[in-house]
Amino acid sequence: MKITKLGHCCLIIEQGNTKILIDPGDYSEEQNNVRGLTHIFITHEHTDHFYLPSLKQVLANNPSAKVYANAAVGNLISAEGLTYELLQHGDIQKTGDLEIEGVGAEHHVIYPAMPNVMNTGYLFDNKFFYPGDALISPQKPLELLALPITGTWLPIAEAIDYARELKPKKCFPVHDGNIKRPEGMYRVASRFLQPENINFEIFELGKTYEL
């Protein structure tokens, strides 16, 4: 499995003839130039994960790519005259060379008085987990975790505890596109995760890593 981080929470996952794009949001633009996609997965409706102008451009460049999303995102997609396939918590989808399981149903609470939205994380081949904006566990041993590092809904302490709870062999930071200087966050995470035998690795944007 090959993984390329394009920015913030936007990733490309490749295995065999399958090439998946996750969360084409408005914090990244490189996805608008990607070709050869077979599938697109969207975790939730916030624009840093789901930006309609970007999704439309991605589909224009990849007209045969299938879009997968939960019902809330799906309703927004359908309203634009686009098609999607439903994938929610507990659903398992075989997409060519990869098996993807939907995990979780809600975005992490931002503030109690603020209405919450649906969030579906994705578990790839039972070894790589991308949670979206939630601190949910797939209840399986993980080789790799895309770790949300901070945000309006997430202090760094909770991010570190989340990784320590899941205990992946390796994790890399996502949800970091709004940090002007993320190096401090990275150092803190690494300081407390490395002693737990969790390899915290920073994925350079545009560089492909193999799992």
Q: How far apart are the first and last CA of the chain?
A: 5
Residue 132 tokens, joined? 């979206």
Amino acid in the structure at residue 93: Q
User: For residues 151 and 176, what is the distance between their CA atoms, to the nearest angstrom?
Assistant: 8
Which ranges of the chain have pLDDT less than 50? none
* pLDDT computed for residue 131 by the predictor: 98
Nearest C-alpha neighbor of 69 from the set 77, 58, 57, 60:
77
Residue 40 tokens, joined? 């697109």
Determine how β-strand 199-200 pairs with β-strand 39-41.
Answer: unpaired
Q: Which CATH class is domain 2-210?
A: alpha beta
pLDDT in tens, 50-88: 999 999 999 999 999 999 999 999 999 999 999 999 999
Q: Which helix (H) or strand (E) holds 149?
A: none
User: For residues 24 and 54, what is the distance between their CA atoms, to the nearest angstrom?
Assistant: 6
CA angle 45, 48, 52 (to 5 degrees): 60
pLDDT in tens, 100-118: 999 999 999 999 999 999 9
Strand order in the sheet with 85-86: 85-86, 66-69, 39-41, 18-22, 10-15, 2-7, 208-210
* pLDDT computed for residue 97 by the predictor: 85
pTM: 0.96
